Amino acid sequence: MKLISKTGFHFFCSGNFMFFIDRDKKDQDIFFKTNLNAFAEISKDEYMRNKFGETCKTIESAYTECIHLANGEYLTCIVPGSTIIHYSNNGKKIKEYGIGHFETGFDLTYSISLDKNGKLWIAQPMSHYVGQFELDTENELFRIGGDYENPDTFDYPEQVRAFGDFVYVCDMGNSRICKINIDTKELTAYKKYEEPVWEFGQFRKKEIVKLASGIYEI
């Protein structure tokens, strides 16, 4: 594996660049982009605009999860409220969803992703839960976990990311990435590490992973 950043986090891939956040000596956020060969420090505004488009005008935290829809609209989710919101391409709120609000006290949604069939996947680490939902009806279609006292298949699943026929789950507590077939729901272990894993992505036919020791190109 090739190290990209020892302390970077919250990376996403857009166009010709991978973007991520780091911290300076005063523990303040600083922002970067890279094509995996060269690096450039950028403004928060550039990071936000590439991540959220025009929706950035309504987003306060750079840590907010964001899904770009094919029609230019967006879905966002930020951890403190765990509220999933649908925005137009010019940043106007279209709908606020109740998806993932189970009122258990441990149902904070950390990550969202949309599969190629238009189904929404969410990860709630504290209840060891990964679920699939129908956006229009908000009905739960599939779940793994949900009992915060008893981790089973997953142990703090931090992130979900849909690529092709699979949803990839960063199973932080088990130091692995699993993948779930979006149609059959078959789950298989994809990659195993010797340290916790938080983030996974694909960029220019390469895979990127955020481990406890840094962001790496696999």
Written as tens digits, the pLDDT of the chain (218 aa) is 999 999 999 999 988 999 999 999 999 999 999 999 999 999 999 999 999 887 777 788 999 999 999 898 999 998 767 899 999 988 889 999 999 988 787 889 999 999 999 999 999 999 999 999 999 999 999 999 998 888 889 999 999 999 999 999 999 999 999 999 999 999 999 999 999 999 999 998 899 999 999 999 99
Residue 195: what pLDDT?
A: 98
CA separation for the pair 173, 150 (Å, rounded) = 13
For residue 137, what are the contacts with CB-CB under 8 A and spacing of at least 6?
none
What are the structure tokens assigned to 3, written together?
Answer: 């190290």
The CA distances from residue 179 to 43, 127, 133, 153, 183, in Å, are 34, 19, 17, 12, 12
Output the CA torsion 36→18→108→134 (10° steps): -120
Residue-wise DSSP of 137-204: T--EEEEE---TTS--S-SSEEEEEEETTEEEEEEGGGTEEEEEETTT--EEEEEE-SS-EEEEEEET
Superfamily holding 2-217: YVTN repeat-like/Quinoprotein amine dehydrogenase (2.130.10.10)
Residue 91 has a pLDDT of 83
pTM as predicted: 0.94
